[in-house]
Each structure stands twice: as structure tokens, then as C-alpha cells.
Structure 1
Amino acid sequence: MEYYVWETPPLSRAGFMEPSTQLRDLISRHAAVQKQATEVQGLTLYKVGQPTLPSDSVYSPRICLVLQGAKKIQLGERTFSVDSSQYFIATVSLPVSARIEQADPISPHLALTFELDREEIAKILAEMPSTHAAEHYDRTGIAVSQQTPEILRAASNLVSCLDMPDDIDMMAKLAKLELYYRLIRSELGPMLRQLATHGTNLAQIGRVTDWIRQHFAEPMSIGKLADMAGMSTTSLHRHFKAVTLMTPLQYRALIRLQEARRRLLLREASAREIGFDVGYDSQTQFTREYRKLFGRPPATDAAFLGGR
């Protein structure tokens, strides 16, 4: 009698579920809403059943893996596309506009983001043999790369912690270490070395973007920012634009306008009051810059968003 062993496509030869399939299954099970916060600190799951309009937000340093569907991210004048075979890393706080391009109820957009911790990455780097020096960095703060089985397995182990509520604290610590290690060993590993190494251009620009994000409504001196970064004003402008694709003033304006739009949508106050609260002394300037970015003056845009 002959026996045949049938191989199910999603399974590997060893009989285990492929990492990407396992991760899609985990996200589908644990994402009860479109944007699902989790008990694992820094981990957010996404399950969206239809394409979306552009949404403004500020990306903190993070990794994002797309497992199903596709999304586009607008940073300054540049667009980054991320499909289900890719992931991206953001290394500093970046004001972006992002939208999901491919999704439907049968095949929803599935993704995860995980916030990067500079100190934890630095601790791992200190225990690893140094094969790449932390060189000066003059590339954009977002980079896209191809997923690898190692990164997918590490991400699956992290999300799998949600299946073990009683063990989640300890198991998540171990899973985070594995994910960081795999990312450091990946094509984008040099970005993480830059992020976590004190004194690199990327680390210095990261301090500046964090400060602007927290103090966007306050007066801002380019000289003060340069001192904060330990750079000359010329170097600050050059490195800041290389990483964020905009000048410090453009960066602050975008942060202000995104926050103004958020508050308008929530109807927290009048357009005039919100413009003043986010740092504009001139209502005319606020209206002009808001219209240029979003296509409508503040009050008109708020009415449009409210009825969407």
C-alpha cells in the first residue's frame, strides 16, 4: 500500500506554519478594532477592511511590518510605498501623511508597529561584536526594506505573547530582545546603530525633533537647536533636512498644522483660538499656511471633516 503525504501550501516542509502566515493569523485574532493597542508595551496591531484617505500623524521611532495589503507614507515631498513583503523603520519623530492603499473586508490590511527604545537597542549593541562602526548619517529618517524569515519569526514571537496573558511580561522582554537583534543584523541595522549610538548625526537630530515635537507652540531659535544638537547652524540645517526632508521651520509648521487640524476635528475651540494655541500670532498666516497644506481654510476644513 502506498502512502502519500500532502503538503498544505502555507506550511513549511517541517510542518510548521510559515512566519508570514502565522503573523497574519495572530494579527487577525488579536486585532478587534482597526487600530488595536496591546498589553505588550509599544506594540500596536492594525486590521483595516478598506482603503483610507490620507491621515496625518507624527511617527515616533518605530518599525512597521505590513503583512497584508499596502500603504503609502508621505514625508515632505517624498512618498514611501510599503507592501506585504516589506517593512519600514522610522528613526526620529516625523510628521507624515499616510494612507492604506490596498484592503477589503475579505483581505483586510494587516500590519503591526513596534516603538523602538534607544536604550534597549544600545544595551544589545554593547553586547554584540562591533562589525559596523556608527558612521555619520545623512539619509532620510524613514527607510523601507524586504522582510526576512528571521524578522518575521521574531515579530511572531512578540505578538504570540498576547496568547499568554499570565506570562506576557517576561516573554515580551525576551521577544523584544530577539526582534531588536534580528533588526540590528538586517539590512537596516546601520540605522538602528545610528539611532542608539550617542554622538551620531542621527541621534543629535533625534534630540532636536523630539524637542520641537514637545515645544512646537513656543518660540524657537535655530541657534538654540544647533547648540542642542552640538552642531553649527549650517550643519544643523544640512543634517536636519537630510533626515526629515524639511527644514526645522518647515518641520515645526507641519507639527503645528497637524495639531490644529486634530483640534478642529474635535471641535475643541474656534479656528482663531486653535491657531493661537498652536503657536501662530497671526491669524492670516495661520489660515494661509493651513489652506496651502490641506486645501481649505481651517473653518471650512473642519466642517468638511466633520461631515465626512
Structure 2
Amino acid sequence: MMDELIAEIRRYTDRKPGENIYFTPINTVAILRSDYPKPPAHRMSQPSMCIVVQGAKWANFGGNRFEYKAGEALVIGVEAPSVGRVVEASPDHPCLVLMFELDLAIMRSVAAELADPPKPRSEPCRGVFVTNFQGPIADCALRLVRLFDMPNAIPTLYPVIMREICYWLLTGPHGADIARMALVNNQPQRVLEAVRVLRERFAEPIRVDELAAVAQLSPSAFHRHFKALTLLSPLQYQKQLRLLEARRLLASQGLNVEAAAFQVGYESPSQFSREYSRMFGEAPKRDARRVGSQLGDEDSGDAAAAVMLQGAA
């Protein structure tokens, strides 16, 4: 099964030389192929499943590192800032990652039909974890990749494959966390609503009490549940959103450091520069020049993904 999946993905990417992130006929599915290990890349992760077919990667959410290699997948159930890196890749054995969005509407529909739904847990819901994808999910992934060459079949078969993937996730070892993130009007969903509010208002001063009220929790309980989901405190989450957006403004729109700092909510450009350098490892001007030059390269898909604050207001 894995050999077939590797062969299909290599065949698809070999037809598109010079690309990095390979967009597919299914707009919610993409392939990352890396022929060499890469330096860390900052990005805003979306609810998705990232399957490593060959090679190895790690992703860091709030200081928590998740390592995943061939036969494993990173499941992300919440929009959150992250740092990712390809650590195992070569021209003969490139790192191949199949990435697709998790459709929570489909997840809810499948969960509602389960005869034996996952049992709820008392501890806060986790928003990020690594799981094994060999077996039924690998079979789904193979059929998904084969759809790329059958565009007329995609509208009919893609939803069916996604329902099957949702079924195996919900009935797997992390089913309880998956179900709690998908179901409406429960505690994790209320916390996710507070995450959405923070994303929309990241440039404004906003108090934890306001976010806790959105989640219908006490401030201390909200802080605990928010960190379990995103692996960041609300303040850390807001700060990283601001810095990711500032990086995008500096690299792609040519704003100066002071203008970018003010636009994302900083009152002190010097504080902004310190925190920017701490997060990205370089002063804002120097980092923006480097990232801007990457965005101009042909092989710029990963660089673009690294600086885009996807889905932000």
C-alpha cells in the first residue's frame, strides 16, 4: 500500500518540475515534496491532516514538538501559529506529504451516524496530535491521489473518501478529541469561537475576560482549555498572529518596520523589533529582504505559505 502511494505521488509531482507545494485538481488537497531537508518555516496552520508518505517532518506548536515520519500523520483541529521543518529528505527519497483540509461538516455528519460514538473525556480537548495512518486511511489516501487524474469523478467520489477518512479518525485512538472539536454547541466549539474572535481582532487590545465570556467559561478555565487546544496561551497566540501578519506586510507589501508594527497592534516599534527577532531569528528589515527574495523565486510555494496569514481578517 505505501509503495503504491509513494509511486502515485512521485508520478504526479514528477510531471510538475520546479514546483514545491503542488496544488491539485481538488482545491482542498495539496502535496509537499522536498528533495532536501529544509530550515524551519513559520505559518498559520489550518484544520487539516498532513500525511507523511516518505521522509520525516516535525512541527512545533507553542514549544511542543510533534515529530511524524512515513506512516504517520499530523492532525490539526484548530487554526494556530506553528513552525514546521522537513528533516529527512534526499533526491532519491524525497519527503512526500499529502495535505488536506478536514471538513468539520462531514465530520459532524459521520459522528452523528456512529452506533458507538467516542466517549467524552473529562480533560480539555487537544487540538493537535500525531496518529498512525497505515491501513484503512492509507487506502483512502491512495484513492484520493488517484482522483487527481479523474477530474470528472472528483465531485462524486471525493466526499465519499472524506467521509471514510472521518469515520476512521472518529473510531481511532484520538476519536474523542476529533468528535469534541467537530460537534456543535459543546465546550471545545465555544473555545474555538473565542479563537475566531481573537483571530479577527488580533491587532486590538483584548482581555482574556472577554474571550472567556465568548467561551462561557471562567477566565482560569478558559485559559486551560485554550492552551490545550492551541498549545499557546491567549497572549502568546495573539503575539504570534501579530508577528506573522507583520512579516507578511514587510515581505510582500513593502511596509517599513514602524508602519508594520503599528498596523498589527504594537505601540512600541522597539518592542516589536525585539519580539520579531526573537521569533524569526533576524531583525525585521533583514528578515523581510530574505523572505521577499524567496517570494520572487520560481520555487516559492513553501516560502509563500510560510508568510501568509491564511484566513485572517
Q: TM-score, normalised by structure 1?
A: 0.88
Show the counterpart of 1:12: none
- 1:222-275 Cα shifts (integer Å, max 9, x gaps): 222111111111111111122222210111001111221233222521111111
C-alpha spacing 1:300/1:142, structure 2 compared with 1 (3 Å): same
The question of whether the paired residues in 2 share the 8 Å contact of 1:64 and 1:114 is answered with yes
Residue type of the alignment partner of 1:86: E
Matched, 1:105 2:87: no
- The equivalent position to 1:29 in structure 2, one of 11, 15, 24, is 11
The question of whether the paired residues in 2 share the 8 Å contact of 1:154 and 1:182 is answered with no
Matches within 5 A, 1:45-124: 45-124=31-110
Show the counterpart of 1:190: 176
- 1:17-76 Cα shifts (integer Å, max 9, x gaps): x2x122212222233322112222421111111111111111111111101110111111
Q: Which has the higher contact order (CA 8 A, sep 6+)?
A: 2
Matched, 1:143 2:129: yes
Is 183-192 or 258-267 further displaced after alignment?
Answer: 258-267
Q: Secondary structure of 2:244's partner?
A: helix
Q: TM-score, normalised by structure 2?
A: 0.87
Matched, 1:220 2:206: yes
Identical pairs, percent: 30
Residue type of the alignment partner of 2:7: D
C-alpha spacing 1:305/1:174, structure 2 compared with 1 (3 Å): closer
Structure 1 gaps, min length 5 = 1-17
The question of whether the paired residues in 2 share the 8 Å contact of 1:27 and 1:46 is answered with no
The question of whether the paired residues in 2 share the 8 Å contact of 1:136 and 1:200 is answered with no
C-alpha spacing 1:127/1:307, structure 2 compared with 1 (3 Å): closer
Structure 2 gaps, min length 5 = 295-313
Is 38-47 or 147-156 further displaced after alignment?
Answer: 38-47
Report which of the two structures shows the higher radius of gyration computed on alpha carbons: 1
Over the aligned positions, Cα root-mean-square deviation in angstroms equals 1.8
The question of whether the paired residues in 2 share the 8 Å contact of 1:91 and 1:142 is answered with yes
Residue type of the alignment partner of 2:71: S
> For residues 184 and 219 of structure 2, what CA distance do their matches in structure 1 show?
20
The question of whether the paired residues in 2 share the 8 Å contact of 1:56 and 1:98 is answered with yes
Show the counterpart of 1:6: none
